[in-house]
């Protein structure tokens, strides 16, 4: 079981119940004796917890096979958890750490239909944010062909997905989407981003007092989203900004990928 620092200790019965669920997830079927050996809990305690989980619909008791197994009810526990949730869970502490070190705001974005949506940002923790706190959130939807995070995503997503996105943008009334009708320019943007390994915001869109840089985050061949940062153009030239920030941003992307993989593969371990 992964541990986190909490303001208050977990309720013991809840912690034990979830430990049993994690252990049941590791085997096709588990006996009370198996769970006793795994946890060290008294068998009577285990039976009471299992009875509660059976009543709640998360566990089934199969006497013919001599043990307990998960029921389909456990699917409801993850129905609201998706790739986006895992992505944000993995990136948050790493983005916070990078902002503390570089004093620069980080935005964490995912794709939604025709734009990138900010799921998390550290601008409140940055003393050098080009935006007022929450500005990323107020922008709401960052366009795919003009904003750094959009360019990073569309340039590295699979060809089939990219074509679908472009089809959607072709019927868009959004001013920033009209570049889609200039096919040669779109191709050059995508080729440049893929060649460089990062994307930058178009200089034709606001706020022109700052620039943004973004990189994609992968899980295998799939692009989960994009992370980006912004800096004041008056504070430093582009070359200096890329020298200072691009390396750490690329490393952040790779660290997020590694952390996502670690979260997915983390074995259930009893901590009792």
pLDDT in tens, 81-135: 556 778 888 999 999 999 999 999 899 999 988 999 998 888 665 455 444 444 4
What's the pLDDT score for residue 27? 78
Whether the Cβ atoms of residue 192 and residue 112 lie closer than 8 Å to each other: no
| Residue 59 CA from chain centroid, whole number | 29
Q: pLDDT band for position 21 (50/70/90)?
A: very high
Can you tell me the distance from the alpha carbon of 109 to that of 262, in angstroms, rounded to the nearest whole number?
A: 21
Q: What does the pLDDT read at residue 74? A: 80
Rounded average pLDDT over 29-41: 92
Adjacent-strand bridge partners of 75:
none
For residue 39, name the pLDDT band (cuts at 50, 70, 90): very high
| pLDDT tens digit sequence for 61-76 | 988 778 998 887 887 7
Q: What is the pLDDT of residue 226?
A: 97
Going along the chain from its start, the domains and CATH numbers come out as 12-78 (1.10.10.10), 83-264 (3.30.450.40)
Name the pTM for this structure: 0.69
């Amino acid at each position: 079981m992964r541990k986190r620092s909490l303001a208050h200790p977990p309720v013991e019965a809840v912690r034990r119940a979830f430990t049993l669920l994690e252990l049941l997830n590791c085997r096709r079927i588990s006996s009370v004796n198996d769970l006793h050996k795994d946890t060290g809990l008294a068998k009577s305690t285990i039976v009471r917890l299992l009875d509660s989980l059976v009543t709640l619909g998360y566990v089934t008791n199969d006497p013919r096979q001599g043990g307990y197994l998960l029921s389909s009810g456990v699917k409801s526990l993850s129905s609201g958890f998706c790739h986006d949730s895992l992505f944000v869970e993995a990136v948050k502490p790493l983005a916070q750490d990078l902002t503390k070190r570089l004093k620069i705001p980080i935005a964490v974005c995912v794709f939604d239909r025709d734009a990138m949506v900010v799921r998390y940002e550290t601008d409140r923790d940055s003393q050098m944010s080009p935006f007022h706190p929450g500005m990323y959130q107020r922008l709401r939807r960052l366009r795919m062909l003009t904003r750094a995070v959009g360019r990073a995503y569309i340039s590295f997503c699979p060809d089939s997905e990219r074509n679908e996105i472009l089809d959607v943008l072709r019927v868009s009334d959004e001013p920033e989407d009209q570049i889609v009708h200039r096919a040669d320019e779109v191709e050059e943007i995508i080729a440049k981003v893929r060649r460089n390994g990062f994307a930058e915001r178009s200089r034709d869109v606001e706020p022109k007092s700052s620039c943004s840089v973004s990189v994609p985050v992968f899980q295998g061949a799939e692009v989960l989203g994009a992370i980006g940062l912004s800096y004041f153009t008056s504070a430093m030239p582009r070359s200096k900004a890329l020298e200072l920030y691009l390396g750490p941003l690329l490393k952040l992307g790779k660290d997020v990928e590694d952390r996502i993989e670690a979260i997915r593969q983390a074995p259930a371990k009893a901590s009792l």
